[in-house]
Amino acid sequence: MTPDELLAKTITPLAAFYTQVDQRPNNIAYVQPYAAGETRTWTWAQVADESERIANALKARGLKSGDRVILFSKNCAHWIMADLAIWMAGGVTVPLYPNLAAETIRQIIEHSGATKGFIGKLDNFEAMAPGLDGEYDFIRFPDAPQFDGAASWSDLLTEHKPFDERFDPDLDDLATIVYTSGTTGMPKGVMHTFRTVGNTGVLSNYLYETNEHDRCLSYLPLAHVAERAALETAQLYNGFTVYFAYSLDTFAEDLQRARPTTFFAVPRIWMKFQQGVLAKMPETKLNRLKKIPFVGKLVRKKILQGLGLDQARIALSGASPLSVSLIEWYRDLGLEIQEGYGMTENFAYSHTTPVGGSVPGTVGKANPLVDCVISDIGEVLVRSPTTMIGYYKAPDITAETITGDGYLRTGDQGKIDEHGRLHITGRVKELFKTSKGKYVAPAPIENKLLANSLIEQVCVTGPNLPQPLVVVNLNEVAQASLSNSNSSAEVEAELSAHLAQVNSTLDPHERLACIVAVKERWLPETGFTTPTLKIKRNVIEERYSPSFESWLASGRTVIFETE
Q: Say which amino acid occupies 563.
A: E
The C-alpha atoms of residue 474 and residue 518 are separated, in whole angstroms, by: 8
Give pLDDT, residue 322: 79
DSSP class of 504: T
Q: Residue 353: which H helix or E strand, with range?
A: none
**Which residues share a beta bridge with 174?**
193
Question: What whole-number distance in Å separates Cα of residue 181 and Cα of residue 387?
Answer: 18
Q: What is the DSSP string of 262-299?
A: EEEE-HHHHHHHHHHHHHHS-HHHHHHHHTSHHHHHHH
DSSP secondary structure string, 74-101? Answer: SS-HHHHHHHHHHHHTT-EEEEE-TT--
CATH number of 262-310+312-428: 3.40.50.12780
Q: Are 223 and 11 in contact (CB under 8 A)?
A: no
Residue from 241, 217, 218, 211 nearest 26 by CA: 241
Model pLDDT, residue 65: 95
Residue-level pLDDT at 112: 96
Residue 509 has a pLDDT of 85
Nearest residue to 474 via CA among 558, 361, 548, 360? 558
> How does pLDDT run along the chain (563 residues), one tens digit per residue?
898 988 899 999 999 999 999 999 999 999 999 886 789 999 999 999 999 999 999 999 999 999 999 999 999 999 999 999 999 999 999 999 998 888 889 999 999 999 999 999 999 899 999 999 988 999 999 989 988 889 999 999 999 999 989 999 999 999 999 998 654 456 799 999 999 999 999 998 888 888 999 999 999 899 989 899 999 999 999 999 999 999 888 888 999 999 999 999 988 889 889 888 888 888 888 888 888 888 888 999 999 999 999 999 999 988 777 777 888 889 889 999 988 899 999 999 999 987 766 676 788 999 999 999 999 888 999 999 999 999 999 999 999 999 999 999 998 889 999 999 998 887 777 778 787 777 788 888 988 898 888 898 999 998 888 899 999 999 888 888 888 877 788 899 999 999 999 999 888 889 999 999 999 999 888 888 887 778 888 889 889 989 998 999 899 999 998 65
pLDDT of residue 327: 86
In CATH terms, are 3-244 and 262-310+312-428 the same topology?
yes
Q: Which phi and psi (to 5°) does residue 352 adopt? A: -155, 140
* Stated pTM of the model: 0.83
Specify the fold of 431-560.
Answer: GMP Synthetase; Chain A, domain 3 (3.30.300)
8-state DSSP, 366: B
The DSSP 8-state label assigned to residue 228 in this structure reads I
Domain ranges of the chain: 3-244, 262-310+312-428, 431-560
Instruction: Please name which of 425, 427, 390, 430 lies closest in space to residue 406, comparing C-alpha atoms.
Output: 390
* Residue 156 contacts residue 137 (beta carbons within 8 Å): no
* Burial of residue 233, with CB atoms counted within 10 A of its CB: 0-12 exposed, 13-18 middle, 19 or more buried: buried
Across 66-84, b (16+ Cβ under 10 Å) vs e yields: ebbbbbbbbbbbbbbbbbb
Instruction: Using alpha carbons, select from 158, 160, 135 the residue that is nearest to residue 148.
Output: 135
CATH number attached to the domain at 3-244: 3.40.50.980
